[in-house]
Chain A
Amino acid sequence: MSSNYLSGKEIRAIAKENKKVMKRLEAYKYRKADESEYLTQMRDSSNILEIDSLHTYFFTEQGVVKAVNGVSFDVPQNATVGVVGESGCGKSVTSMSVMRLLQGPTGQIYSGEIRFKSKDKDGVEKVYDIAKMPMDDIHKIRGNQIAMIFQEPMTSLNPVFTIGQQLDEVTFIHNPDASKEEAKAKSIEMLNLVGIAMPERVYGAFPHELSGGMRQRVMISMALASNPRLIIADEPTTALDVTIQAQILDLLRDLKTKIDGSIMLITHDLGIIAEMADYVVVMYAGRVIEKGTVEEIFHNPMHPYTIGLQKSKPTLSSDSDTLFNIPGNVPNPINMPNYCYFKERCSRCVHKCSGDYPEMVQVSPTHFVACHLYNEE
């Protein structure tokens, strides 16, 4: 596409424009603000996280990459919400936005709300808009009310410290008065919780001495150490072998009941979603194209992409001769046209699809789909 080769003039124009926007957003991010500025109300009190038309952009040299382009979904209390999509669909960027871990100044939350119901030590519940929080106040939530488990257990732990030192540190951050013994006791308790057989030995070990599965368990225990209300698991098992993956998934399912929190599970594997999630959000090219309960998505998928995705995955139970395949590739996220992003790959394309991007249509109280095929008007 021509956007790949820009002339020097175009590049400079883009850079100038980007600089202006990035400067404004950066200043907003690091401003001093009173708590009242980002206090808000939940739409539905049974939710713990509500994301409302979130736009997260990357201001690159080639132009603005709208990695997350108007994403809205809720995470109810004590539920697992699975976010599924192919690489580049914006599922990880969404989680990074919630954690406010975007790499500035290129990556910025452009607009939208991320409402999170937090509960402090005294049990007082407050609703914060994470998207408006200044970076200085983020620590109230990050790593404390919301914890994150990353994909790469090999690089998420610091190689020069023992597991024990890294776990104790988490305890000290949240409870600075704790004594060394208390911290150690707490760390070992956490290691026990995630099913590590010899916690004392692992406590003194360095990350390189552990296998991938063990490291992922340690990462989970670190995430749990602060009693989070929401765990964001970004592809937690992608780097692991199948048998180890089964162990970790089993552990996560177990923990959800133990810790009384919610999980936002990000993955590309439909199998994991089907097994773990209560609600499913399907993303494509920075947009949510379908969301609903796990039964609705798997038994009654509506969007042609969701249907195609399910059919193109070979399963152990199916016996067909050729796989269904969605033609083409994921579109370029720069300069997206304002029609359905899936139009060019869709086999059920109708005349209306060349028009505006389809609105979300509600098919059942919990099931939403963004496709013209279901738009009655």
Chain B
Amino acid sequence: MAEEKITEQFDTEAILEVRNLRKCFPLKKTLTGKVTQELVAVDNVSFKLKRGETLGIVGESGCGKTTLGRTILKLHQSNGGQIIFDGQDITDLKSSQMRDIRKKMQIIFQDPYSSLPPRSTVGGILSEPVEVHKIVPKSEIKSYVLDLMEKCGLRDYYYERYPHEFSGGQRQRICIARALSVNPELVICDEPVSALDVSIQAQIINLLKELQQKLNLTYVFISHDLSVVKFISDKIGVMYLGSMVEFGSKEDIFSNPLHPYTQALFSAIPQPDPDIKMNRIILSGDIPSPANPPKGCRFHTRCPKATDKCKEVTPEYKDYGNGHCAACHLLG
């Protein structure tokens, strides 16, 4: 698959297309370096994302959502499949070739404490990428950065301050400003609000939405919190143990969840209303280890509707109309 040279034209409407992406991490190696056991963190994931859209990726811990985000950015080298960004296949680019593309795709992390270098000022953190990528002439860097800080809700006198003086929400704003400093087209948000308090979460989510409209950004929004994902996304992908079990527009996924896992995930979220007593689907058992996933459909160990077929055959990931894809035998 990797050998054949693909010369076809890529969909120009899509800013990001991922085809059958696969990423493995070696677990055990022999002395000679041959991998004997591996962990398949992302397995056969495909989707298309249009410019200006937000793709929400939901899943529980260990489902490979973070790895997917980093593999798209090529912070991890993929082990198969293709990543097509802006009409260009970037799967096999070397890191020196990637350097120019890097400024078009950026990432925001979960932990606002470890994602800022502790020994630089906010101004230093924000102007470094501008300087390296020569976004604006040297003399204009400061005014450019101050402008950017204002956009992200940071006051101008923060310029000379150090990250340790800020609270989580403020730091996350700095991270957003850093990501936006190189004028990216695609931003991967890796759980950007899950470390923050509820009232601060709302501020950050609103900021992200506002910036998206202003700058026509495309987001891949990774989160375990379905309600946040629902709020910000246009499309949603649900992942379980490394593979995408369901993908579709927000409306389709929420009004008509096809996969039993998606259904269970929806019903598991506690609603802040004492009158809603949902008819809860409580999944039994734990999430299997991704190092040793079950045979057949990976969800069959916990699926309330599993049949014998599910234990043997891996279900096919099919389109059930209108780009609403799912992988389940029960859907026929």
Contact = CB atoms under 8 A, between A and B. Distances in A.
Interface of A: 4, 86-87, 211, 213-214, 241-247, 249-250, 268-276, 294-295, 298-299, 308-310, 312-317, 322-327, 329-330
A270 B61 CA distance: 22
B256 to A, nearest CB: 14
B37 interface: no
Contacts of A308: 199
Interface in B239-289: 254, 264-274, 276, 280, 282-284, 286-287
B141 interface: no
Nearest to A237: B270
A269 B270 CA distance: 9
Given A243-B283, A246-B268, A247-B282, A275 B274 contact: yes
A274 B278 CA distance: 12
A4 B161 CA distance: 14
B230 A326 contact: no
B227 A316 contact: yes
Given A241-B61, A323-B206, A329-B200, A213 B282 contact: no
B230 A214 contact: no
Label chain A's interface by main secondary structure: helix
A314 B286 contact: no
A122 B19 CA distance: 69
Nearest to B60: A241
Closest A-B pairs by Cβ, 9 of them? A271-B270, A312-B202, A241-B60, A314-B231, A270-B272, A246-B268, A86-B197, A325-B202, A323-B202
Contacts of A245: 268, 270
Given A314-B230, A316-B230, A322-B209, A241 B287 contact: yes
B69 interface: no
B216 interface: no
Label chain B's interface by main secondary structure: helix
Given A241-B224, A309-B198, A315-B227, A325 B270 contact: no
A246 B282 contact: yes
Contact of B201 (A214, A274, A312, A327): A312
Given A246-B282, A313-B272, A315-B272, A325 B61 contact: no
16 contacts: A86-B198, A242-B60, A242-B265, A243-B264, A243-B265, A246-B283, A247-B283, A247-B284, A275-B270, A276-B270, A313-B198, A314-B230, A315-B272, A316-B230, A316-B254, A330-B167
B169 A325 contact: no
Interface string B160-200: 00000101011000000000000000000000000001111
Given A312-B199, A322-B206, A214 B286 contact: yes
Contacts of B265: 242-243
Nearest to B286: A211
A326 B199 contact: yes
B115 interface: no
A273 B201 CA distance: 19
B158 to A, nearest CB: 14
Contacts of A4: 165
Contacts of A315: 227, 271-273
A275 B201 CA distance: 22
Given A242-B269, A247-B283, A323-B205, A268 B197 contact: yes
A245 B226 CA distance: 14
Nearest to A271: B270
Interface core residue of A247, A317, A325 (most chain B CB under 10 Å): A325
Given A316-B230, A325-B206, A294 B224 contact: no
A214 B269 CA distance: 20
B203 interface: yes
B270 A316 contact: no
A315 B227 CA distance: 5
Given A308-B199, A309-B199, 18 more contacts: A86-B199, A211-B287, A214-B286, A241-B61, A241-B224, A246-B267, A271-B270, A271-B271, A273-B272, A274-B273, A274-B276, A298-B273, A299-B274, A312-B198, A313-B201, A316-B227, A316-B269, A327-B203
Contacts of B224: 241-242
Interface core residue of A86, A242, A323 (most chain B CB under 10 Å): A242
Nearest to A326: B199
A241 B282 CA distance: 13
Contacts of B266: 316
Contacts of B264: 243
A4 B266 CA distance: 44
B90 interface: no
A242 B268 contact: yes
Nearest to A327: B203
A317 B198 CA distance: 17
B60 A274 contact: no
A299 B169 CA distance: 29
